[in-house]
């Protein structure tokens, strides 16, 4: 049965999609069967995997609306399988708000394929809406990608409040696996200070090593492959491999 992780942070631009894709690719390299699930209407994980979101006939949108089982929408663009998303998912979010048991739709869908994989990574949208609640409800553990700067630090408390709500109402066993520092520049005093403060303020483990800032992460999505594939010896690739191996 697959171990399921949700990567969540309501702040955009914190390398949530990059981290989802990189961790999944790292575990696939080690021989694990990995499923990536895109529940962001922007379809960033789908695009990063080399799939054009606008060309898709079926996505997670159709699964959440009950139009088809999740097995029918799974793609295999590379080492990881993918449940894709596109802008249609914004409509699913509106639909779910009117549906009884809406928080459990993704969990129910993933139960159909959980036996086919060793690990599932869910890339949540940059919000605390019903799609993110679905991701947190379906997950065993949540990873919080965290950009090492002050504005990102401000949002962590709100996210933790949401996680606590999910624990109370829809997923009593949800664990916070840790904060994943991204875009870290050890040469900048501010980055070091923010990382130290976040580690001291919350009783949550902080993954090590932090993911250092690099232009290579911005270049990878346009090539439709993970940085672990296009720059396998890059420091960021190695950092994601180290973190991935402690997850399981």
**Domains and their CATH numbers in the chain:** 3-247 (3.40.50.300)
Of 23-37, 170-184, 212-226, 227-241, the poorest mean pLDDT is in 212-226
Confidence of residue 197 (pLDDT cuts 50, 70, 90): confident
pLDDT at residue 78 greater than cutoff 70: yes
Residue 136 CA from chain centroid, whole number? 10
CB-CB contact of 170 with 108 (8 Å): no
- Across the range 2-25, mean pLDDT stands at 94
CB-CB contact of 171 with 137 (8 Å): yes
DSSP 157-174: HHHHHHHHHHHHHT-TT-
Alpha-carbon gap, residue 237 to 204, rounded angstroms: 24
Tokens of 115: 């036996």
pLDDT, one tens digit per residue, over 14-55 is 899 999 999 999 999 999 999 999 999 999 999 999 999 999
pTM here? Answer: 0.95
pLDDT at residue 90 greater than cutoff 80: yes
Q: What is the pLDDT of residue 223?
A: 83
């Amino acid at each position: 049965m697959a171990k399921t992780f949700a990567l969540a942070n309501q702040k955009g631009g914190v390398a949530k999609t990059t981290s989802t894709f990189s961790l999944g690719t790292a575990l696939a390299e080690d021989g694990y069967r990995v499923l990536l699930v895109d529940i962001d209407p922007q379809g960033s994980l789908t695009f990063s995997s080399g799939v054009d979101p606008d060309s898709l006939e079926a996505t997670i949108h159709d699964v959440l609306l009950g139009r088809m089982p999740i097995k029918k929408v799974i793609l295999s663009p590379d080492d990881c399988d993918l449940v894709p998303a596109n802008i249609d998912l914004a409509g699913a979010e509106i639909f779910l708000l009117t549906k009884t048991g809406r928080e459990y739709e993704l969990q129910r869908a993933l139960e159909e394929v959980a036996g086919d994989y060793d690990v599932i990574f869910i890339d949540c949208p940059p919000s605390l809406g019903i799609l993110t609640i679905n991701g947190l409800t379906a997950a065993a553990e949540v990873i919080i990608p965290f950009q090492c700067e002050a504005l990102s630090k401000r949002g962590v408390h709100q996210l933790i409040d949401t996680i606590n709500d999910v624990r109370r109402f829809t997923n009593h066993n949800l664990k916070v696996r840790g904060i994943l520092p991204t875009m870290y520049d050890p040469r900048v005093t501010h980055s070091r200070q923010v990382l130290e403060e976040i580690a001291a303020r919350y009783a949550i483990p902080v993954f090590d090593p932090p993911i250092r800032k690099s232009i290579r992460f911005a270049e990878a999505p346009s090539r439709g492959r993970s940085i672990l594939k296009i720059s396998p010896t890059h420091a960021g690739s190695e950092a994601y491999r180290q973190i991935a191996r402690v997850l399981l």
